Chains A and B, each alone.
Chain A
């Protein structure tokens, strides 16, 4: 079953090093044409249109691997297609489609994010020290998204996995309805409450819940059970990472609670196999 693959592979996925937010003031590294040894750059977005803002961010990323964005005011597409080795630190509120098509980079938001964080993300890591809007992780097929607080509706829709790729989303507080709709792979963890129509059309991957789903939220397409050892091998490290990122801000830890979590997994990888007739 798909869920088994998700559990084993996600557990083996390497952890991307998330740097502490404090380490990003311009340091004294010598400047050179090699972006990896260039000092961190700061770009202030203010009221810039997203097209101009993204162009400035791309130019800064061509010069250095580490870019800090100040006074961000809902500019869309920040971190779009960001490749491995590049890091954005965002102060303010990034707009929709943060880290869309991201391809290995790291984005850390000191604040809230809006809709579609990690849309069609291929690889990399997004850390949000706040909440995010709707459709987080849409069609994500790799990488990890850690949201400290809650998220809007339709998170994890169309998440998928293949080969060694296993996308992961961890949401620290409540999630809206339609979570995991048409989910075909990957791991989604919710630490707060979930809404109605949970995992509709889910045919792959696994959802871990700290709180039981709302009455009537699940359909026959999925199976609810307690986590077992194989689940804990996946869930444990994700919760530990959540604690490492956010426990000092929140004043509590969650990783000790892993054995009490519930698992939602699809009953079949072919939910509509008998829908059609010729």
Chain B
């Protein structure tokens, strides 16, 4: 039987520029570049190339370029080469197609249809270089009303636990196992430096990261990996993972070959066995059951940590979020379908869920309509690409955002989408020691800190332009947004006017 699989990429080597140094051969864990005895120039096995750009960027003479495989399809907009290749792969194997990172299909990106406001003449702009500009936000539950003893200048009503973020940007949940320890180290160090939080995902807290635990969100998912009283009390916040934007309705499944001794110890599971964390928590069938888990975590942490609940952005997100708030969640995290992942079934990634912009806007509106928006914090994630996306998300109603792909790109990720194979040439989505050591956590942390500091300055400038001097005053301030190229229905859901109005 003929193998129907075509290479996805073509590796082009400029024979004049190539000096035969062999760096590409050593750098590619996929084995694309093959040295040939007696030949100066290596040969490329195009089928193995995933377009991670490791060889391109490490080639000292820039002799390498990756292009798309030049084969054309039959010209049909229906039977594209990609669909035919998927069919060939499944016909040969009987397997569920696995993919990585977020939904790549050209669905509308609403961020790109939302324009920001700036003040002119009245309510003048504020210059962030000279004037104070508050980017600090607090996450946690809030009482409906505050009682204050004015004489004693003290709060009379107890305030639920809060976490302070110096910038409204956190790092999304990425577990040790799906990413390398050096990746987590870099994000943890950056979070401490920036005064924000990283999130250990559902992979437990590695002992080397315990020193950063006061800047960690510790996650509890259905498999309860690594969850014990010490873990729950180590973090700044506890997050119940119900769903993830990249694969709504699908759980975590770390294959046995990635459960190394270290991963096993950190997740507190057997070495080499599949780590299965299915989508349903089998103790949660209702909002009341969610409430039971929320309060078990509050009891285990003596009511000293905010409890967050994370869901994927799905059709009924607003009603679900209302239930979450009533179940005792103090932080509601909504993750859109462009959010990244180490591994997701391709058909789920590409077809399930909704854009976070729509879900966020409808959640914020629903909680306002019900008069409970002020009692909880809302965090949005799933394709926050720039500081302008952060500003848009906050103006649509988020207290803060979480970013996963952007900090990974700062660390060297080139979005090749091959995370699940565990051969990440950049040392991010891998447990192979020789690859992990390619990522220097200190250098990585510095790059992530640079990125977030640059974004923060841009956020200050955009807020200053609007005449706003605190993130708190931007939150839910949809008058600062105008839609462009959107239908009336889209504008209604987003709660914004059209540009020109």
Residues in chain A within 8 A of chain B (CB atoms): 2, 5, 50-51, 54, 58, 76-77, 80-81, 83, 96-97, 100-101, 103, 115-116, 119-120, 122, 135, 138-139, 141, 154, 157-158, 160-163, 165, 181-182, 184-185, 201, 203-204, 269-278
Contacts and interface: CB of A to CB of B under 8 A. Distances in A.
B93 A135 contact: no
Given A119-B296, A275-B95, A160 B268 contact: yes
Contacts of A160: 223, 268-270
Given A120-B227, A269-B274, A184 B283 contact: no
A119 B282 CA distance: 11
Contacts of A138: 224, 282-283
Interface string B288-303: 0000100110011010
A173 B140 CA distance: 45
Contacts of A116: 283
B268 A272 contact: no
B264 interface: yes
Nearest to A271: B274
Contacts of A184: 269-270, 273, 275-276
Interface string B86-122: 0001100111111100000000000000000000000
Contacts of A270: 255-256, 273-274
B232 interface: yes
Contacts, number: 135
B296 A139 contact: no
B283 A163 contact: no
Contacts of B282: 135, 138, 154, 157-158, 181
Chain A at the B interface: SS class: loop
B265 interface: yes
11 contacts: A100-B300, A135-B282, A154-B282, A158-B223, A160-B223, A165-B268, A182-B223, A184-B270, A269-B273, A274-B95, A277-B90
A185 B98 CA distance: 27
Contacts of A119: 283, 296
Nearest to A274: B95
Given A76-B296, A101-B300, A277-B98, A272 B283 contact: no
Interface string B222-233: 111001111010
Contacts of B283: 115-116, 119, 135, 138
Interface of B: 89-90, 93-99, 222-224, 227-230, 232, 253, 255-256, 264-265, 267-276, 278, 282-283, 292, 295-296, 299-300, 302, 343, 345, 418, 420-421
Minimum-distance CB pairs A-B, first 7: A277-B95, A139-B224, A269-B273, A81-B229, A276-B98, A277-B93, A77-B299
B232 A101 contact: yes
Nearest to B421: A278
B272 to A, nearest CB: 6
Contact of A272 (B229, B230, B276): B276
Contacts of B253: 272
Contacts of B421: 278
B274 A203 contact: yes
A163 B226 CA distance: 13
Given A270-B255, A273-B274, A276-B98, 15 more contacts: A50-B299, A51-B295, A100-B296, A103-B228, A122-B228, A138-B224, A160-B223, A160-B268, A203-B276, A204-B270, A269-B274, A270-B274, A276-B420, A278-B98, A278-B420
